[in-house]
Structure 1
Amino acid sequence: MRVRLLVLIMLLSLTACTAATPVPSPTAIPRLPTVTPEPLSQSTPTPRIIRLSESPLPVFTPTPIPTPVISADGITTASMAQLGISAEPYAILGDPNAPVTIIEFTDFGCTFCRRHHVLTFPALREEFISSGQVFYVVRQLPVTSPHGDQAALAALCAGEQGKYWEMHDQLFAAGDAWYSDATTARRRIIALATDLGLDSAVLQRCMEHPATQATLARHVSEAHALRVFGTPTFFINNQLFAGAQPIARWRDVLEGGGRR
């Protein structure tokens, strides 16, 4: 058992980003308050981990699909509610009535998140999301780079202007900027907003607004409640799937047996 755990840890270290060494807080842009991890409540199920060393992969047990809740705050599927994930209005793709909900915790400064976005996500989107088999939800968990939280706030605020996914793509393409100084990071965000046809002044005010920062803090809190501290981390319905895995492994999981 101990050997298997060590193998799992080694594999995760090759496929996921973890929290970086603390860095000085930038002065140009306010930093978010520290979020204290919340303990799992008795009502929150303990996710079953899909261990990377196991073969064959576990399969899903088909169950009835409750109707998703659509409110002014966004969409909440049954899987999201079960895991304690709040409604999401912008960072979503696919049919909320799909049998599988995938929740990704991501960080725009994480090289493994970028690997997933560039190498795997396009095929995942085409084969499973566009076909109605998967509803995809993104949660922000900036843990690696000095200004990853600013990139996360920019994504949230681009969503307010109807261009979450366009900004999502550009923020990953500008990954090195989140390791630079605060001024450079902020200039890059403004440039990306301008290129996408967004109102950069509105976006900046949105990033500095307490409500937006509270949303990001909630994303982090939800991750911590699920014992998620590295990226990319996924929940396939209520099962944890960690690291930047190739599309073949996603196919094994999603096609390996029932969906729910």
Structure 2
Amino acid sequence: MSMRKKKSNKQSPKFIFWIVGILAICLGGLLFISNSTSKVEAFDYEYQPFLGEDTAPVQIVEFGDYKCPICKNFNETLFPQIEKDFIDTGKASFYFMNYSFINVDSARSAKFAEAVYKELGNKAFWEFHKLLYERQPDDIKYEKMDVFTEDFLEETLKEIVSEEDAQKVVKSFNNNEADSAWKSDMNTAERIGVAGTPTIYVNGEVFEGNSYEDLKEVVEKAIAGE
């Protein structure tokens, strides 16, 4: 089965397969990848974009790459269930952290999204975040192409914000003002051993289940303090 993982000369990490249907690019399902153990990781949530209530008893973290087709599938297929069951009910808050490893588009789009968050706030970030995945081409060949150019990112942003706000973001991006936030995410991913995308953590512990029901069980146990 095809998968989106970071190439490495080291021993292959443990792979977790979460089958959700056939993708057009022959990715057989949704894959969560991690070479981490089950230890609880300490995350700094304070400056991360999130959905839900910051006082929610459970924190769900997704490490993702805007260039990753499996992340696109996750955000379009499974995230709506997470939002309905956990975020909208106040049971969990959901955070996104960057693990941009596929090509130059990965880092460019992540830094641009961080600039959106810095200049326009949380709401605009999530609207742009969703739109980026919607605009991701279905053709697998695009992974080797520079699709998420600065012009593309700017025009995509203008679909949801004014010209004035878009220029604020472009200026911030060109001045590398959001790079530190992106580097912080990448350092976190490196520290805890994230090996591919999407990788999910629940209250600091990597999710290693095989189905959405497994995730529900993990979250409900976390709510109960188990």
Q: Normalised by the size of structure 2, how large is the TM-score? A: 0.73
Supply the AA of the counterpart residue of 1:132: G
- Residue 122 (structure 2) pairs with residue 140 (structure 1): no
Supply the AA of the counterpart residue of 1:250: L
The aligned residue for residue 173 of structure 2 is 207
Q: How many residues align?
A: 195
- Residue 189 (structure 2) pairs with residue 223 (structure 1): yes
Deviations 1:88-134 (A, max 9, x none): 25x11111221111111111111111111000111111110111110
Gaps of 5+ in 2: 1-10, 19-26
Query: In structure 2, which of residues 98, 113, 116 is the aligned counterpart of residue 158 of structure 1?
Result: 116
The aligned residue for residue 130 of structure 2 is 169
Supply the AA of the counterpart residue of 1:9: F
- Residue 15 (structure 2) pairs with residue 9 (structure 1): yes
Corresponding residue SS for 1:120: helix
Deviations 1:205-233 (A, max 9, x none): 11122331121111100111111131111
- Residue 214 (structure 2) pairs with residue 249 (structure 1): yes
Q: C-alpha distance in 1, partners of 2:47/2:62? A: 12
Answer yes or no: is the 8 Å Cα contact 1:48–1:238 preserved in 2.
no
Q: 1:99 to 1:191 in 2, by over 3 A?
A: same
Corresponding residue SS for 2:62: strand
Q: C-alpha distance in 2, partners of 1:132/1:96? A: 9
The aligned residue for residue 70 of structure 2 is 112
- Residue 122 (structure 2) pairs with residue 197 (structure 1): no
Q: C-alpha distance in 2, partners of 1:101/1:47? A: 18
Q: 1:149 to 1:165 in 2, by over 3 A?
A: same
Answer yes or no: is the 8 Å Cα contact 2:15–2:32 preserved in 1.
no
The aligned residue for residue 152 of structure 2 is 188
Q: Compare CA radii of gyration and give the structure with the larger one.
A: 1
Q: 1:7 to 1:213 in 2, by over 3 A?
A: closer
Deviation at 1:87, TM superposition (A): 2.1
- Residue 83 (structure 2) pairs with residue 125 (structure 1): yes
Gaps of 5+ in 1: 19-45, 50-78
Supply the AA of the counterpart residue of 1:93: L
The aligned residue for residue 83 of structure 1 is 42
Q: What is the root-mean-square deviation of aligned Cα atoms in Å?
A: 3.1
Q: 1:212 to 1:48 in 2, by over 3 A?
A: same
Q: 1:93 to 1:146 in 2, by over 3 A?
A: same
Deviation at 1:255, TM superposition (A): 3.2
Supply the AA of the counterpart residue of 2:196: G
Q: Normalised by the size of structure 1, how large is the TM-score? A: 0.65
Q: 1:109 to 1:7 in 2, by over 3 A?
A: closer
